[in-house]
């Protein structure tokens, strides 16, 4: 079994690993495509700690090749996506059925070997069947779509409400589309004009280039001075968290999206208290992968233009290096495992 494993910052090696046995509750899949994620970049640069060595790769699509004796609902030939998070199934949260809130969760590509390999054995509970209408590369965005749905749910976003989205990250751009699906009005802001142009092509009408325009004035104008009812702050965002409180109306709701491995945030909460804001921490996708699959299948969310490049398996080390040197050049890089 071939795999791309990292032994230290910048030290990625292609290796042959022994084949994995298939447990009774597990499924073996042939990896068709994987994706280079922000998490992979952080590990490659040495800014996110892991226990070396580990196989990189958080997202993948695969074909079922073998099914454990106790597994039902999957058969050889099924195309599947794998959850990037593996629950322990033992902690108090898991015992209560809240696997998405597992206290001891493992991330593929971080605490558990990821998917830059040709075959993987995973628990059947972490698999999701993919309909034919979803392209393999599109499925690399399921986590971000599910996270966007989680944000909308936590905020209780309603038809006609404005949502200020700070940061045209992949999740931010997808969130703007999900907000439109729920008939809300997104205002997406960033200093990267190219990312905002992509969002505009997806039908996101209100975008703010923060190098040229004042986001506060834009939202003030759009809302007739009321300001936005809701706001979503991407932790890799482009402005201090404290400043974004000004985008919200009194008693507004804010989601602070903090992906795993993000750097520590700081903020003056006095403004949030004065305006009686409701703050929600978003650290993941909740139980929303099935909903994300449905949105992709129905073409309610577009993701193909977010793919910057496709590379071969043996080009992964060079792709990681290139992305580290030019982080603004790439949005999502897909790895074709068969090539």
**Helix, strand, coil percentages, rounded to 5, for the chain:** 30, 30, 40
> Rounded CA gap, 196 and 208, in Å?
8
Q: Could you report the per-residue pLDDT of 108-128, keeping only the tens digit for each?
A: 999 899 999 999 999 999 999
Phi, psi (5° rounding) for residue 243? Answer: -65, -30
pLDDT on residue 260: 61
> Rounded CA gap, 216 and 250, in Å?
15
* Residue 165: strand, helix, or coil: strand
Q: What is the CA radius of gyration of the chain?
A: 20
Q: Could you report the per-residue pLDDT of 38-55, keeping only the tens digit for each?
A: 889 889 998 888 889 999
Joined together, the tokens standing for residue 169 give 């990250």
> Rounded CA gap, 91 and 6, in Å?
29
Q: Could you report the per-residue pLDDT of 45-90, keeping only the tens digit for each?
A: 988 888 899 999 999 999 999 999 999 999 999 999 999 988 888 8
Task: Give residues with Cβ within 8 angstroms of 97, minimum separation 6.
Answer: none
* Residue 231: strand, helix, or coil: strand
- Among 189, 182, 166, residue whose Cα is nearest residue 254: 166
Would the CA dihedral through 320, 326, 332, 335 be positive or negative?
A: negative
> Rounded CA gap, 152 and 99, in Å?
20
Q: Are 115 and 61 in contact (CB under 8 A)?
A: no
pLDDT on residue 339: 66
pLDDT of 319 over the 70 cut: yes
Q: Are 50 and 96 in contact (CB under 8 A)?
A: no
Global pTM value: 0.94
Residue 328 CA, distance from chain mean position: 17
The CA-atom distances, in angstroms, between 36 and each of 19, 27, 83, 169, 301 are 23, 23, 15, 15, 21
The CA-atom distances, in angstroms, between 339 and each of 56, 118, 322, 330 are 18, 11, 20, 21
pLDDT on residue 97: 83
Q: Could you report the per-residue pLDDT of 187-240, keeping only the tens digit for each?
A: 999 988 999 999 999 999 999 999 888 999 999 999 999 999 999 998 765 688
Q: Are 75 and 125 in contact (CB under 8 A)?
A: no
- Number of C-alpha atoms within 13 angstroms, CB side, residue 127? 26
């Amino acid at each position: 079994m071939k795999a791309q494993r990292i032994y230290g910052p910048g030290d990625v090696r292609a290796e042959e690993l022994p084949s994995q046995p298939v447990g009774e509750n597990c499924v073996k899949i042939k990896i068709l495509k994987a994706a280079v994620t922000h998490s992979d970049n952080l590990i490659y640069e040495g800014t996110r700690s892991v226990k070396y060595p580990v196989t990189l790769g958080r997202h993948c699509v695969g074909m079922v090749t073998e099914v454990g004796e106790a597994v039902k609902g999957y058969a050889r030939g099924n195309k599947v996506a794998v959850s990037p998070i593996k629950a322990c199934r033992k902690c108090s949260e898991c015992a209560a059925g809240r696997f998405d809130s597992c206290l001891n969760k493992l991330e593929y590509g971080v605490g558990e070997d990821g998917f830059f390999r040709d075959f993987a054995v995973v628990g059947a509970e972490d698999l999701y069947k993919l309909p034919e209408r979803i392209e393999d590369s599109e499925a690399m965005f399921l986590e971000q779509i599910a996270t966007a749905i989680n944000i909308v749910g936590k905020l209780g976003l309603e038809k006609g409400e404005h949502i200020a989205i700070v940061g045209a990250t992949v999740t931010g751009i997808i969130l703007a589309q999900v907000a439109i699906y729920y008939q809300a009005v997104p205002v997406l802001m960033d200093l990267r004009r190219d990312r905002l142009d992509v969002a505009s092509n997806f039908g996101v009408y209100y975008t703010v280039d923060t190098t040229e325009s004042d986001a506060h004035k834009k939202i003030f104008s759009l809302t007739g001075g009321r300001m936005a009812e809701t706001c979503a702050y991407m932790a890799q965002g482009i402005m201090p968290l404290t400043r974004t409180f000004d985008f919200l109306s009194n008693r507004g709701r804010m989601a602070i999206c903090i992906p795993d491995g993000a750097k520590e945030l700081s903020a003056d909460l006095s403004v949030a208290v004065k305006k009686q804001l409701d703050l929600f921490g978003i650290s993941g996708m909740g139980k929303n992968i099935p909903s994300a699959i449905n949105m992709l299948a129905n073409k309610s969310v577009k993701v193909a233009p977010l793919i910057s490049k496709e590379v071969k398996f043996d080009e992964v080390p060079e792709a990681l290096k290139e992305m580290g040197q030019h982080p603004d050049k790439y949005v999502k890089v897909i790895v074709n495992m068969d090539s």
